[in-house]
Structure 1
Amino acid sequence: MNDKTGFAAIAAREQGLKRQLTSAQMSMIAIGGAIGTGLFMGSSFAIGFAGPGVLLSYAIGALIALLLMGCLAEMTVAHPTSGSFGAYAEFYVGPLAGFLVRYAYWASIVLAVGTEVTAIALYMKYWFPGVASWVWILLFSSALILTNAISVKAFGHFEYAFSAIKISAILAFILLGAWLVFGGTHPEYGFHHYVAHGGFLPHGLSGMWVAVIIAIFSYLSIEMIAVAAGEAEQPERAVKQAFRVTMVRLLVFYLLTLALILAMLPWDRSGQGAESPFVSVMQQVGIPGATGLINFVILVAALSAMNSQLYTTTRMMFSLSRAGYAPRAMGQLSGAGVPLNALALSCTGIALATLVNVAFPEQSFMLMMAISIFGALFAWMMIFFTHYRFRRYHQARGGLQLSFRMWGFPWATLLGLGLMLAILLTTAFVDAFRMTLVFGIPFLALLTAAYCLFVRKAAAAVAADPAQSL
């Protein structure tokens, strides 16, 4: 069996989804998924760890994200399917790898939905401090679940609108910040804040490196462009365009906005974690109504990221089912081509977030982030390893003609793999992220045992007869 036929069998079992996402929507989905709570809320914790050195943290995170997107774009152009990097790991590394990557990533994003909905409840307290958090969690979750249940086209329209609001607001923030910092009429704002409060690296290189973990959490969801390729009208064109546009926008939006925030507000005031640094800056500037407006934008950003994450987890569970790794019902589609059962199961993170929010209201965000980030770090690390195997596989067979190729192979791929492994190991030495490996390692062990005891035979049967999963 040649390589095309081999992977074609994996792609064939994931048919039935509707190709209704345009190239413009794909680009907005990619950027929208990555501009959420990680930037607007998580950056406050990152600043607390690194001080002004957080700019280096996010630059390192951006480098890793750039390398990851290059590897992922090359594989996605070759194989546009909703199983994405989970399906690639299954074919190029092995069935167990495909199982672990999909489930670890699915669990990560399900829990990340919990961080977004937790943040949404915090943002609503700005206007309604007396209303219980669970009310907002229930209200907004219901609206987004309904959006995802209608059709992929409805999801695409909503996500495009959400992302447009976020991008417009960030551009306006950049223009305002640039005017205040460079205008010369506000001496209290300026780059002297970078060194005036304990230096550029107040907690040393170790603090800067720890903040890279939060930077990666902030960039999380850029990989969903590969998942969405399975429902794109022109997947090859959409993936290449999204790769180019997304990386430029992320660099501008993250690094430029953080640079301006740190110039307008001392890092020890913007890195408290109690509120978004964007809100803190607007309170400092004192423009009437600006604080409420930026809080609304942050709310939209969280809703957008949550919307994207519900979409991604639903498609990943759908892929697991079609591979024989999850109950067959999870792979069933509605008349509109939506895996509704997979969507329902993927809402478990919302329920968990509600319980954590009630039990640990002050620590809920960091706790949910520490637990959820393991699957993302593991999936990103495996994407680099899978790309290495992908390229070696095709080189041994004379190469694969593609319109997009990752540069710098094998060193760029190995650099990304090494950095991700180092970040994953670092979580063991940071109190705030101690739960990452405490949760992650037993979870991987449990998944491996489940695969060996219950899943392997069913997956082999589906591989022999793909019709069994339909």
Structure 2
Amino acid sequence: MDNETGLRRRLTGRQLTMIGLGGAIGTGLFLGSSLAISQAGPATIVAYVICAGVALVIGWALAEMVVVHPEAGAFGVIAHRYLGPWAGFVVRWTYWTIQVIAIGGEVIAAGIYVQFWWPSLPLWLPVTVFSAVVLITNAAAVKLFGEVEYWFAMIKVVAIVVFILLGVVLITVGLPGAQATGVSNLTAHDGFLPNGINGLFLAMVFVLFSYIGTEVVSVTAAESENPARDIPRAARRMVTRLALFYVLAIAVVLTVVPWTTTAQGGDVTQSPFVRVFSAAGVPAAATIMNFVVLTAALSSANTNLYLTTRMMHSLASHRYAPAWTGRLSASGVPRNALALSALGLALAAIVSAASESEAYLALFGVSVFGALVVWLLILVTHHAFRRTRAAQGLAPSPVRLWGAPVTSVVVMLFLAAVLVSTLFIEPLRPAWWAGVPFFVIISVVYAVVSRRSVVREGSGPGK
């Protein structure tokens, strides 16, 4: 069965869960999460637990809304319905922009990982090849995309599960050639909380970005075989598994390797994953880990390109993007929207390559600021969704966020605090000097575009 926009409902429940994991699990976990660990030491485990709760609230709130409105554009269209056209415009264009930036970064990362094996290979070559791979995958029927992403994400999941199991064995009883480490690393080197509560909060600022991508499942609603059944289930499973993987993996990292060592970062050969695999006697541990982070980068790029394409298609449906980006191929794929998103991919990849440039810092700032604002607007939309439906006497969603509105307000305050704190963290300061001008510009663009746009009927609250 297809939906009213022509998109094909071909994604299964198992694919949805893995697409969500694939979009959220990037390369940072495998390479040590050194920024967060340098701030909080072993207490980074607590930071991952708290941020998992934040991600769960957002994922659950999205599931509550998307079950009622399983449409292309997901939270962007729902924001349009319940907060008005400005919110729908800003949320979707912002999300499109930050994901395009992410795609460029992941493709560049994938090219660098290939250079681990062939150092003399020019970076542009693997970047071009990988860009073609994700473009071809996204241009095919959505069912093929779902299957490719399922196996991409599966590689990451298997690597994390094996790492956790080997790590537990290494910690408790040891491995051949490696004595049991015990848990002394959790309290050595100035204790469990070496930099105090302030260090823990700063770590949460960095850890929070590890969970960006938990909104992926909601974007798939328009192409889910059974959104009412599969979206809530996939959202809960995805966030729960993501939190479990992150918390357990980071706990193993900080138990096996002193946090002062992990905080220094380094390339793939310095990854705690490589250390544990090597201790377990796994041959060519660094090579295997490099393959895992390569597929992690490609999986994220593949999923993010899917997201940008669907957001662009949704914008076209409200005449907030060129009409030709809303057209579908014979297989039900918005390939024109894909082409426009690919232009952004090329631009982001080129700018990302110049990692020291002011342009790259600006893109980084827009991405950080935009992600936090999108999450905040999702929760504001959820509040308006509940209030409007109650006022109109409509039945509540079959999926309900536990503890709302208290839980959603607490998370909104937390996100606002994180957003403000980026002003005082040197690596995140570009979030404000690039993010604020971006939102000013996009609001001006909305004012111009809205005068020429005729919003479709039926996009009012509760329709």
Alignment correspondent of 2:131: 141
Structure that is richer in helix per residue? 1
CA distance in 1, matches of 2:142, 2:293: 24
Q: Residues 367-378 of structure 1 correspond to what in structure 2 (within 5 A)? A: 369-378=364-373
2:213 is equivalent to residue 218 of structure 1? no
Deviations 1:407-459 (Å, cap 9, x if unpaired)?
1121011112111111111111111011112111100000111111x211233
Structure 1 unaligned blocks of 5 or more? 1-10
How has the CA–CA distance of structure 1 residues 278 and 120 changed in structure 2, closer, same or farther, with 3 Å as cutoff?
A: farther
In 1, Cα distance between equivalents of 2:83 and 2:32: 33
Q: Taking structure 2 as the reference length, what is the TM-score of the superposition? A: 0.92
Secondary structure at the aligned position of 1:346 is classed as: helix
* 1:42, distance to aligned residue in structure 2 (A): 6.9
Of 433, 453, 466, 2:428 maps to 433
Deviates more, 1:288-297 or 1:174-183: 288-297
- Using the alignment, how far apart are the partners of 2:248 and 2:32 within structure 1? 16
What corresponds to 1:264 in structure 2? 256
Q: Which moved more, 1:391-400 or 1:67-76?
A: 391-400
1:389 to 384, 388, 391: 384
Displacement of 1:357 in angstroms is 4.2
Q: CA deviation at 1:464?
A: 5.0
Residue in structure 2 matched with residue 5 of structure 1 by the alignment: none
Q: Matches of 2:412 and 2:140 in 1, distance apart?
A: 38
RMSD between aligned residues: 2.4
Q: Distance in 1 between matches of 2:88 and 2:169?
A: 50
Q: Distance in 1 between matches of 2:235 and 2:193?
A: 32
Partner of 1:86: 76
Structure 2: stretches of 5+ with no match in the other structure: none
Q: Answer yes or no: is 1:281 the counterpart of 2:281.
A: no
Q: 1:325 aligns with which of 298, 320, 325?
A: 320
Percent sequence identity is 42
Residues 108 and 374 in structure 1, CA contact (< 8 A), matched pair in contact too:
no
1:19 aligns with 2:9: yes
Residue 4 of structure 1 aligns with which residue?
A: none
Q: For 1:90-169, list aligned pairs within 5 A.
A: 90-169=80-159
2:456 match: secondary structure: helix
Mean Cα deviation higher: 271-280 or 327-336: 271-280
The one-letter amino acid paired with 2:248 is: L
1:206 is matched with 198
- Bigger drift between 360-369 and 320-329 goes to 360-369
Which residue of structure 1 aligns with residue 54 of structure 2? 64
1:149-191 residue CA offsets vs partner (Å, 9 max, x unmatched): 1121111010111112211121111111111011156456232
- Cα deviation 1:234-288 (Å, max 9, x = unaligned): 0111112102311221121000000001111111222223325344524762632
Deviation track 1:89-120 (CA, whole Å, cap 9, x = no partner) reads: 11111110111111111111111112212321
- 1:45: Cα distance to partner? 2.5
Residue 384 of structure 1 aligns with an amino acid whose one-letter code is L
Q: Distance in 1 between matches of 2:37 and 2:102?
A: 20
In structure 2, C-alpha distance between the alignment counterparts of 1:27 and 1:67, rounded to whole Å: 17
Query: Alignment partner of 2:146: what SS?
Result: helix
Report if the CA contact (8 A) 2:214-2:239 is conserved.
Answer: no
Letter in 2 for 1:344: A
The residue that corresponds to 1:462 in the other structure is: 455
User: Are residues 247 and 141 of structure 1, via their aligned partners in 2, closer, same or farther at CA, if it must alter by over 3 Å?
Assistant: same
Alignment TM-score, normalising by the size of structure 1: 0.90
Where in structure 1 do 4 or more consecutive aligned residues deviate above 6 Å? 361-367
Q: CA deviation at 1:399?
A: 4.1
Match of 1:424 in 2: 419
Change (3 A) 1:199 1:125: farther
Is this contact kept in 2: 1:333–1:340, CA < 8 A?
yes
Amino acid at match of 1:71: A
Counterpart in the other structure of 1:197: 189
Once structures 1 and 2 are overlaid, which stretch shifts more, 182-191 or 169-178?
182-191
Name whichever of 91-100 and 348-357 sits farther off: 348-357
